């Protein structure tokens, strides 16, 4: 059988790549929890009908779907919002409102593999359920901003472009459009930047002058009451610089009902880093009308944000500091005399029992080679167990300084050495 690689669009995470992934996870989780969000998770496989119900039959062609032995029509989740709507509507009565819930996990899309688009990707999902006030939109947007600040981005690097579906209701009011014209209008508007001529034509077919649209975008004062509560709240938090009202933001998904927003890099090469908005009717739809709760949410994927971190100085510095660790082990125990291997094993266990991460050579090796192993791994200290045991030497592998101690005092001695850069901890 031929060599078997990962399928196209699916990728391994080697340890250094996994560290970068975990850095994203830890930052996401830290900021979500700082905002009082709690974590949940839903299955990777759902009934295909869950996605059909939210998005119609067209969605099925974008799914990895299959039939199980019980003839059930199942699919790998392409997003988490339908699952959240199910979970929240089934369980909301057990939690005080609003729910502030987040999730981190893999999603899948069955598109043909292409550069920069993965078929398995990870999404960070955040939703506030049960609060219709724009204060919830502001809280969620503030959280997104603080995620970016924690990564090291400033308002010179990234901006949130904020719009509202209802602003275009105001624009269209009194224009006597057919009732089904709004989706066509929004779809045309979505292409305004990329295809100005095509957009002008499509708007013309609806009897709308593209210049009027441009004027409304340039001066959206008529829609100010939609945005002011959000931007005021962000200004109160000192985060106003990160947000600009931009009515050209539409977002394709039909289920949004109010505010919509996307996070962009000001360098501009990238697709949106994150996007979301208000979807006040989805829970009612998914629960067949039983639970009618408003909701607002956003999602951020792992691919674009990591590319952007790697291209931006301060965020890259924060990531790299995290990636320099090649081993979690702080200590490498050197067995200088094989006659003392049992003693060395007892020391290894003593260190690990004290929650000091420790590695050691599993088999006999010359002392020089053992030091090389320690250096290759990048441990901070070597603890040398030889014929003089229970006397023990500790060697700082950076400064080459050597300290003598005994088996009984080893833990305390190591704690002091490990904590030394942060002198406050010496008091603890």
Considering the complex, state which of residue 110 and residue 206 has its C-beta at the smaller distance from its own copies: 110
Is 46:116 a contact under the CB 8 Å cutoff? no
The C-alpha angle with vertex 122 and arms to 118 and 128, in degrees rounded to 5, equals 135
DSSP-derived 3-state class of residue 194: coil
Contact call for residue 329 and its own copies (CB under 8 A) = yes
DSSP 327-389: -S-SEEEEES-GGGHHHHHHHHHHHHHTT--EE--SS---HHHHHHHHHHHT-SEEEEE-TTT
Cα-based torsion angle of the residue sequence 273, 110, 59, 70 in order, rounded to the nearest 10 degrees: -130
Helix (H) or strand (E) holding 123: strand 120-129
Minimum distance of its own copies from residue 408's CB (angstroms): 16
By CB under 8 A, what part of segment 8-37 binds its own copies?
8, 10-15, 18-19, 21-22, 30, 33-37
- Residue 398 found at the interface with its own copies (CB under 8 A): no
Name residue 127's beta-bridge partners. Answer: 101, 297
Residue 179 touches its own copies, criterion: CB under 8 A: no
Residue with smaller CB distance to its own copies, 363 or 399: 363
| Stretch binding its own copies (CB under 8 A), from 135-143, 165-173, 198-206, 266-274 | 135-143
Considering the rule CB under 8 A, would residue 109 count as an interface residue with its own copies? Answer: no
Please give the Cα distance from 346 to 2 (Å, whole number).
46
Q: Is 232 left (phi over 0), alpha (psi -120 to 50) or beta?
A: alpha
Closest separation in Å from C-beta 128 to its own copies: 8
* In the complex, least distance from residue 35 CB atom to its own copies, rounded to whole angstroms: 7
In the block, residue with structure tokens 């977002």: 251
- Of 23, 24, 28, 46, which one interacts with its own copies (CB under 8 A)? 46
Dihedral sign (CA 185, 186, 192, 197): negative
Least Cα distance to 39 among 98, 111, 125 occurs for 125
Choices 61-69, 160-168, 250-258, 403-411; region in contact with its own copies by CB under 8 A? 61-69
CA pair distance 155, 305, nearest whole angstrom: 15
**Applying CB under 8 A, does 262 fall inside the site for its own copies?**
no
- What is the number of other CB atoms lying within 10 angstroms of the CB of residue 46? 20
Among 184, 191, 237, 270, binds its own copies (CB under 8 A): 237
Return the residue of 23, 28, 101, 256 that touches its own copies, per CB under 8 A.
Answer: 101
User: 383: closest CA among 421, 364, 357, 363?
Assistant: 357
Q: How far is the CB of 414 from its own copies (least distance, A)?
A: 14
* Spatial CB neighbours of 196, under 8 Å, sequence gap ≥ 6: 210
Q: Is 92 in the site for its own copies (CB under 8 A)?
A: no
- In terms of phi and psi (left: phi > 0; alpha: psi -120 to 50; beta: otherwise), the region of 197 is alpha
Binder among 93, 116, 183, 288 for its own copies (CB under 8 A): 288
In the set 45, 170, 181, 182, which binds its own copies (CB under 8 A)? 45
Q: How far is the CB of 368 from its own copies (least distance, A)?
A: 15
Instruction: Give dist(CA 226, CA 278) in Å, integer.
Output: 12
**Contact flags string 65-84 toward its own copies, x per CB under 8 A:** xx-xxx-x-x-x------x-
CB-wise, 87 or 247, nearer to its own copies? 87
Instruction: Say whether residue 52 binds its own copies (CB under 8 A).
Output: yes
Residue 336 touches its own copies, criterion: CB under 8 A: no
What's the closest the beta carbon of residue 255 comes to its own copies, in angstroms?
A: 15
CB 278 within 8 A of CB 294: yes
Size of residue set near its own copies by CB under 8 A: 104
Single out the residue of 4, 115, 176, 193 in contact with its own copies (rule: CB under 8 A): 4
* Residue 415 sits in the site that holds its own copies (CB under 8 A): no
Residue 345 found at the interface with its own copies (CB under 8 A): yes
Half-sphere exposure of 91 (CA within 13 A, CB side): 10
Q: Which of 79, 127, 131, 157 binds its own copies (CB under 8 A)?
A: 131
The footprint of its own copies on residues 201-230 (CB under 8 A) is: none
Q: Which stretch binds its own copies (CB under 8 A): 170-178, 180-188, 322-330, 392-400?
A: 322-330
């Amino acid at each position: 059988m031929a060599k078997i690689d990962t399928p196209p669009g699916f990728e391994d995470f080697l340890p250094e790549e996994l560290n970068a992934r975990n850095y994203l996870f830890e930052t996401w989780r830290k900021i979500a929890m700082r905002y009082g969000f709690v974590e949940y998770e839903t299955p990777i496989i759902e009934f295909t009908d869950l996605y059909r119900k939210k998005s119609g039959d067209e969605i099925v062609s974008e799914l990895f779907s299959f039939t199980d032995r019980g003839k059930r029509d199942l699919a790998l989740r392409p997003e988490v919002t339908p699952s959240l709507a199910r979970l929240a509507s089934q369980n909301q009565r057990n939690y005080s409102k609003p729910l502030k819930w987040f999730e981190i996990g893999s999603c899948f899309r069955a598109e043909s593999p292409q550069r920069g688009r993965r078929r398995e990707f990870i999404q960070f999902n955040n939703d506030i359920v049960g609060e219709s006030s724009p204060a919830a939109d502001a809280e969620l947007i503030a959280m997104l901003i603080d995620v970016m600040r924690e990564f090291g981005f400033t308002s010179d690097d990234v901006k949130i472009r904020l719009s509202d579906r209802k602003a275009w209701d105001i624009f269209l009011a009194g224009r006597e459009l057919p009732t089904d014209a709004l989706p066509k209008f929004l779809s045309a508007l979505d292409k305004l930047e990329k295809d100005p001529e095509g957009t002008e034509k499509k708007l013309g077919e609806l009897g709308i002058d593209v210049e009027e649209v441009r004027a409304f975008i340039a001066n959206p004062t008529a829609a100010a009451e939609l945005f002011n509560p959000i931007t005021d709240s962000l200004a109160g938090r000192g985060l106003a610089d990160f947000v600009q009202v931009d009515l050209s933001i539409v977002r394709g998904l039909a289920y949004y009902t109010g505010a919509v927003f996307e996070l962009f890099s000001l360098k501009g090469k990238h697709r949106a880093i994150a996007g979301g908005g208000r979807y006040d009717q989805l829970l009612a739809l998914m629960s067949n009308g039983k639970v009618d709760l408003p909701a607002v949410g956003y999602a951020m994927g792992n691919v674009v944000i990591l590319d952007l971190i790697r291209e931006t100085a301060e965020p890259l510095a924060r990531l790299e500091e995290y990636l320099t660790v090649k081993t979690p082990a702080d200590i490498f125990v050197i067995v200088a005399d094989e006659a003392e291997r049992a003693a060395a094993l007892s020391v290894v266990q003593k260190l690990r029992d004290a929650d000091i991460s420790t590695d050691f050579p599993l088999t006999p090796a010359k002392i020089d080679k053992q030091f090389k192993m320690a250096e290759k791994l990048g441990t901070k200290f070597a603890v040398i167990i030889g014929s003089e045991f229970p006397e023990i030497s500790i060697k700082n592998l950076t400064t080459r300084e050597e300290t003598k101690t005994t088996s009984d005092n080893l833990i305390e001695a190591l704690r002091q050495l490990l904590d030394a850069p942060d002198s406050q901890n010496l008091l603890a």
